[in-house]
Amino acid sequence: MTAAPQDFAAFHRRSIEDRDGFWGEQAQLIDWHQPYTQVCDTSRPPFANWFVGGQTNLCHNALDRHLKDRPDQAALIFVSTETDTEKTYSYRELHAEVQRFAAIYQSLGVVKGDRVLIYMPMIPEAAFAMLAAVRIGAIHSVVFGGFASHSLASRIDDASPKVVVSADAGMRGGKVVPYKHLLDEAITLAGNKPARVVMVNRGLADFARVDGRDVDYAKLRAQHLDAQVPVTWVASDHPSYILYTSGTTGKPKGVQRDTGGYTVALAASMPHIFMGEPGETYFSTSDIGWVVGHSYIIYGPLIGGMATIMYEGLPIRPDAGIWWSLVEKYKVTVMFSAPTAVRVLKKQDPAFLKKYDLSSLKALFLAGEPLDEPTAQWISDSLGVPIIDNYWQTETGWPLMAICNGVERAPSKFGSPGKAVYGYDVQLIDENTGQPITEPDRKGVVAINGPLPPGCLQTVWGDDARFVSTYWTSIPGQQMYSTFDWGVRDKDGYFYILGRTDDVINVAGHRLGTREIEESISSHPAIAEVAVVGVADQLKGQVAMAFAVVKDAARVADPADALKLEGEVMKVVDDQLGAVARPARVRFVTVLPKTRSGKVLRRAIQAVCEGRDAGDLTTMEDPAALAQIKDLVRPA
């Protein structure tokens, strides 16, 4: 590993101005079966081909190369508070399990380039299935467990998998969530039907087997206990996986990731961004159905020679100390979660944070949604370690804004995901002129000059034209990648994300970002959480509607008290943003409707407010949350 300089500005500048030299150095962090002959081919913009001519393998870099130095070190630590299971796999043991799964794939006819769809709960076999696929050059597509049949069918049709890997059920909050009937219905709906379905039977739910199609994982594993499956070396630009972006309507949009660039990007991110070192423990509380789970539960930590915790359960079951008990037990050095989870913990007894020895923890990283300042301050005071908000997308595969403390120590600013990460030439763009905004504190569209750095999406699976038209054509007069997020940058280069460009509310000709209004409302001391949506209005075009969760439900138990608090909140918005940003109403709810990954379902809230169909809600954490909003907005 090359020594990290102590000047991040110079480090970042070199990554842009001497792109090939910079990434050529980072490429030394991984093993290459065949050296690349060109760092980056940009002859066909906006497409970028990284490490041209090189051959490598994602599974080799995650497992095989560590067998010499750390065969008996913990690699995968599985913890389920749903089934009271805890099991640790060493690098040697994980390597053996992955080879067994690779042999199962081969016995079912899977070869290089074939797709494997994985529809699984958070169990070790899901990790085996992912690693085994890339080991033999197959392309995996993980679909979040519990997705509705129609959504699953559309992904099966788009990816055309030869094999599907699934399980009888997952568990959530002590309740069994059956999968098999959803999968069967999805395959019935799909035009491109898989030849085989590998079923992992956890003994949680009865299910019917389809003769000639469904095969039992345990029986197949027993046949391949001694399997030795060498890695299939693939070209750097060979696709490693497809991951469908959440919230897709109509034809699914599959983010296609390469192999070489992704492996290098993750390898570099472990020391530079996450300060992770071989032999340490990484704990991401995400799910493998989302990009964070791919990059920082499965691949990143293992590439970095770390142990990774795979957790099935809630942050408050059996109690609100469960995550912190794991930090103590496994000496976690790097933890990655979401602001929503921290807000959940904030409502619990603070004694749980003082009960465990958290001295091993270097930092807590938070992403997935904007991190509000009160939540950041609370967890910072509680843990006494850096709280590092970071911003990225399914499309980028790894953070594009963060504080890179592994390069140069720098303070976090609460409410900001930090500065542009090395490799990303991030610009704020005037939406009307397409010109860069250079002065501080002026709002613009967050965009990236091409080429995108290693690890970002190559294209949209099977649809290059959609890749270009979706991401590279919305900036006037320029071919730049649009994040479709508004942002501002302060005088120190720290960015602040203000919300989606397509979540802008146009109130009587005034364009307002929902994020700005949410931040203002959140600053009221009584408010724990808030979502703001734009609702159609005949007079003004749109009006802002706010739905807020209060810290103390007693504050709004009486209608008169609720009305009083609503007036206080509106005054805060008046004072901070002006009367034009004042919501039409502030409605108080006990919980906001969210996906199981913690994202607020703003589009569903908006649909309900406008009397429209809220769409596919199979990933909603609490269906009653949306019903509560329906009752509030129903016409008298």
**Which residue is it, tokens 């990774």?**
308
Residue 219: its pLDDT value, please?
Answer: 98
Q: Which amino acid is at 189?
A: L
Residue 20: Cβ-neighbour burial (10 angstroms; 0-12, 13-18, 19+): exposed
Name the token pair of 282: 């990484």
Query: Across residues 113-139, what is the average pLDDT?
Result: 98
Domain coordinates of the chain in residue numbers? 8-313+390-484, 508-633
| Integer Cα distance of 195 and 181 in angstroms | 17
Angle formed at CA 547 by CA 545 and CA 553, multiple of 5 degrees: 150
- In this structure, the strands spanning 401-402 and 419-420 are antiparallel
From residue 333, how far is each of 326, 329, 358, 365 by CA, in Å? 11, 11, 9, 11
**In the block, which residue shows the tokens 């209608």?**
559
DSSP code of 195?
A: S
Average of per-residue pLDDT across 437-446:
95
Is there a contact between 237 and 49 (Cβ–Cβ < 8 Å)? yes
Strands 281-284 and 481-489: unpaired
- Rounded alpha-carbon distances, angstroms, from residue 178 to 171, 172, 205, 210: 8, 11, 6, 16
Structure tokens, 425: 């030439």
CA distance 552 to 527: 9
Taking alpha carbons only, the member of 153, 159, 154 closest to residue 140 is 159
Average pLDDT of the residues in 276-300? 96
Residue 626 CB neighbour total at 10 angstroms: 21
Instruction: Find the radius of gyration of the CA atoms of the chain.
Output: 24
| pLDDT tops 50 at residue 4 | no
Structural contact between residues 92 and 258, judged by C-beta atoms closer than 8 angstroms: no
What are the beta bridge partners of residue 283? 309, 335
Distances (CA, A) of 304 to 267, 280, 589: 6, 9, 43
Q: Looking at the predicted structure, is the pLDDT value of residue 502 above 80?
A: no
Predicted pLDDT at 508: 65
H-type alpha helices, 472-601: 514-522, 559-577
Per-residue pLDDT at 247 exceeds 70: no
> Average pLDDT in the 354-360 region?
94
What tokens appear for 540 in the block? 């003004």
Residues 116 and 123 sit within 8 Å (Cβ to Cβ): no
- Per CATH, the number for 508-633 is 3.30.300.30
Residues 79 and 88: their CA atoms lie apart, in Å, by 9
User: Is the predicted pLDDT of residue 5 greater than 80, yes or no?
Assistant: no
Tens digits of residue pLDDT in 161-186: 999 999 999 998 999 999 999 999 99
What pLDDT, in 10s, does the model give residues 604-620?
899 899 988 877 676 67
Q: Please compute the mean of the pLDDT values over residues 126-146 and round it to a whole number.
A: 95
Question: Of the candidates 26, 516, 520, 506, which has an alpha carbon nearest to the alpha carbon of residue 264?
Answer: 26
Q: How far apart are CA 387 and CA 190, in angstroms?
A: 44
What confidence score (pLDDT) does residue 510 get? 65
pLDDT, position 625 = 86
545-568 pLDDT, tens digit per residue, is: 999 999 999 999 999 999 999 999
Residue 46, preceding peptide bond in cis (omega within 30° of 0): yes
Q: For the chain, what is the mean pLDDT?
A: 92
The mean per-residue pLDDT over the stretch 129-154 comes to: 91
Structure token digits, residue 473? 């054509």
Alpha carbon distance 264, 300 (integer Å): 10
Residue range 502-528: mean pLDDT, rounded: 80
* Average pLDDT of the segment spanning 198-205: 97
Q: Give per-residue pLDDT as tens, 248-258.
A: 345 778 999 99
SS3 (DSSP) at 225: coil
Return d(Cα 170, Cα 167) in angstroms, integer.
8
pLDDT reported for residue 148: 77
Phi-psi region of 611 (alpha: psi -120 to 50; beta: other; left: phi over 0): left
**Edge-to-edge strands of the sheet including 481-489?**
425-429, 444-449, 481-489, 495-500
Check if the beta carbon of residue 194 is closer than 8 Å to that of residue 147: no
Q: What is the pTM of this model?
A: 0.86
Instruction: Say what angle helices 149-159 and 180-189 make with each other, to 10 degrees.
Output: 50
Estimate to the nearest angstrom the gap between the alpha carbon of 165 and the chain centroid.
21
- The rounded percent of the chain whose pLDDT value lies above 70 is 96
- The percentage of residues in the chain with a pLDDT greater than 90, rounded to a whole number, is 76
- The neighbouring-strand residues paired with 165 are 118, 198
Q: Tell me the pLDDT band of 429, cut-offs 50, 70 and 90.
A: very high
- CATH 3.30.70.580 given to domain 8-313+390-484: no
Residue 56 pairs in a beta bridge with 234
Q: Do the beta carbons of residue 241 and residue 140 sit within 8 Å?
A: yes
Angle, helix 514-522 to helix 373-383, in steps of 10 degrees: 50
| Helix H or strand E encompassing 52 | strand 49-52
Residues 6+ apart with CB under 8 A from 581: 507, 512, 516, 517, 520, 544, 573
